[in-house]
Amino acid sequence: MGCDLGTTNSCVFIREGEKYKVVVNDKGNNTTPSVVLFDKEGKVVTVGKDAKKEATLKPELVVFEVKRLIGRRFDSPEVQEFRKIAPFKIIPGKNGDAWVKVGEKEYSPQQVSAFILQKMKQITEDHLGRSVRNAVITVPAYFNDAQRQATISAAVIAGFGNPKDLEESRKMIRIINEPTAAALAYGVDKKAKLHTVVVFDLGGGTFDISIIEINEGLFEVKATAGDTYLGGANFDQKIVN
């Protein structure tokens, strides 16, 4: 299973024969909002579109864009910037990382991401009719090691890999840079000669630009830059204002 665990939306791909296809969710959509609804006690109610619908009525119980927090320290500039606009509580965890508090419970970003990944896993399993343990998950090229490891931890919590064997889980759960995945999807690796491509990734919450050097099917991200607070959601906010 391939998963684009996005800031605002997520989607899953599978390979059937020689073709890759997007798996639609239970609403018939290609993408699922990366949004989790909790009750007043802090228990998960639902994930996806139904959770997003409650954001206006129950803003303190709806957690979204948790990708902005994963693997980050609470006192980091990025987290403090997000706290200004997030209607739910973002608190310092015991380890100094950013956590969220919903109702009576506290969750790490990995745990919230795991709820989203569980939803994507269920969508895939319902389509295939069997259990799925292996996953390839995309992350921004600028993600550091802590953020990548936190994403793997979220996948293990969600039921991917082998919870009893961390080393085996690392083989079953792969992390790939989002621009590399995009380049592969467009077949730019088919050229035999050394060449360089620029990938623009304008998502719901972020805008990333990456320069990738490709040589005989091997990808190397040479440089990456962008704006972690420029995306479709920001365009919407400007229109509203």
Point out the residues that are catalytic.
4, 67, 178, 201
- 216, 186 contact by CB (below 8 A): no
Chain position carrying tokens 């630009």: 209
Torsion angles phi and psi, residue 88, rounded to 5: -95, 165
Residue closest to 88 by CA, chosen among 47, 134, 42, 121:
42
User: Could you give the CA distance from residue 173 to residue 110 in angstroms, rounded to a whole number?
Assistant: 15
User: Could you give the CA distance from residue 111 to residue 68 in angstroms, rounded to a whole number?
Assistant: 14
- Distances in Å between the Cα of 219 and the Cα atoms of 56, 188, 209 are 42, 10, 15
User: Could you give the CA distance from residue 8 to residue 235 in angstroms, rounded to a whole number?
Assistant: 13
Task: Considering only the C-alpha atoms of the chain, give the largest distance between any 2 of them, rounded to a whole number of Å.
Answer: 58
